[in-house]
Amino acid sequence: MTSEELLTVLAAVGHAQRLRVIAEVAGGRTYVSELARRLGISRPLLYMHLERLEKAGLVVGSLELSKSGKALKYFELAPFDLRVNAETITAAVAADAEGTDSDVKGNPT
Amino acid sequence: MTSEELLTVLAAVGHAQRLRVIAEVAGGRTYVSELARRLGISRPLLYMHLERLEKAGLVVGSLELSKSGKALKYFELAPFDLRVNAETITAAVAADAEGTDSDVKGNPT
DNA sequence: GGCACGTGTAAGTCTTAACTTACATACTTC
DNA sequence: GAAGTATGTAAGTTAAGACTTACACGTGCC
């Protein structure tokens, strides 16, 4: 994991609104407009946050058609469990310095 | 842990420069000016980042006197291991709601 | 005393992210 | 076809961080 990837997740999660979004989505899948109402924020704003969370791989969205024919964009939580400690961070920063060699270390024994 | 506390850590760690700072300090304690040179950033800027990291409890600084009499501000890594997952986040957001009766959901227990 | 090296901080600039407003599109129901 | 609800995005404003420059202060050394 490069520091850029790590940063994408950390920066995504390092914001009050997005923390609330995650908490809400963790309670069950919802569609955007409904979520915006629940959180009391504007839909475009929520949209931006969801985009960022999705890019970080924390939530996944899917456009679905209700049986009434209306298009609803549902979001649900993606399984994630990131460890933030000195080891994770130094490894990520070191991965940058390694240049092109991505140095896959799934099991740093 | 409230979301504010969680956020302090996540926001502190969610920045490229600070990631590098942590990685560098993880390699051993150093004083500010030396660290600034190594990272190639200005001392006041580093100062700000260190302040933020310290506030988040990720590093600890101590002003020491070298035997030559010069004051050096040393920083070293604080032990930390935070888990970033749905559970941590929902718990933190829920902790906020405790004590504030602003929004009681339609699920009275 | 003047230079080199260190800490600490104030004040400004600049960049980026967050947020708002507004509009286009689509389908349902009345 | 107008009203309601939904998605999607563009364009603008505002707020927040990040970053720079500059200075005050202290100590050791030539």
A83: phi then psi, degrees, rounded to nearest 5: -105, 125
pLDDT of residue B97: 78
C-alpha–C-alpha distance, residues B54 and B58, integer Å: 6
pLDDT of residue A106: 45
C-alpha–C-alpha distance, residues B8 and B16, integer Å: 16
Taking an 8 Å cut-off on Cβ atoms, the answer to whether A23 and B83 are in contact is no
- In this structure, the strands spanning A30-31 and A71-77 are antiparallel
Task: Look up residue B98 and give its two tokens.
Answer: 């405790």
* Amino acid identity at A69: G
C-alpha–C-alpha distance, residues B18 and A85, integer Å: 13
β-strand partners of A74: A31, A62
- Work out the number of other CB atoms within 10 angstroms of the CB of residue B95: 15
A5: phi then psi, degrees, rounded to nearest 5: -65, -45
The CA-atom distances, in angstroms, between A59 and each of A7, B81, B90 are 16, 23, 14
Taking an 8 Å cut-off on Cβ atoms, the answer to whether B20 and A82 are in contact is no
pLDDT of residue B101: 61
pLDDT of residue A107: 53
Q: Name the pTM for this structure.
A: 0.88
The CA-atom distances, in angstroms, between A73 and each of A29, A59, A60, A66, A80 are 10, 12, 10, 10, 21
C-alpha–C-alpha distance, residues B76 and B44, integer Å: 18
* Amino acid identity at B15: H
* pLDDT block averages, 10 residues each, chain A of length 109: 96 98 97 97 97 98 90 97 97 84 49
**Per-residue CB contacts under 7 A with strand C, chain A residues 4-23:** 15, 17
Asked if B89 has any chain A CB less than 8 Å from its own CB, the reply is yes
Residues of chain B scoring pLDDT < 70: 101-109
Q: What is the DSSP letter of A54?
A: H
pLDDT of residue A101: 52
Q: Name the nt closest to B31 by C-alpha to C1'.
A: C6
End-to-end CA distance of chain A: 16
